[in-house]
Structure 1
Amino acid sequence: MKIGLRTPSLKKSLKARTTARAKRAVKRKLIPGYGRPGMGWLRDPKRAARNAVYQRTTFSVWDLFR
């Protein structure tokens, strides 16, 4: 498991703000429960636990400027 600074990716950052943002908006309208808090734990608890640990043990470049 990674600890510390996450490597920034400009390509992934732009994609998340454009294409992926539109896809998520559509999915939220069509799929009940999509994007709601806690749904990851119901769908795949092992993955959700791993992601929770990763979020707590790493930080972004942008966090340094706060």
Structure 2
Amino acid sequence: MAKVKNDDCNFIDDLMTRYSVFEHAQSEEMPSSGLELDVFEADVTALYNWITEFGSRAS
């Protein structure tokens, strides 16, 4: 837990919020829209970079 920063939590929360729409039922009032490939690629790259950086932190 000593390695976890507030920015880490915000980053993961943002990704979970953005992608949970594809796994959970949505109301008719807020239908989900498709995901742009460039946005998905940027998120995957950011997640990869975050995992690499997090793993290299001193514990």
TM-score scaled by structure 1? 0.29
The answer to which structure has the higher strand fraction is: 1
The answer to which structure has the higher helix fraction is: 1
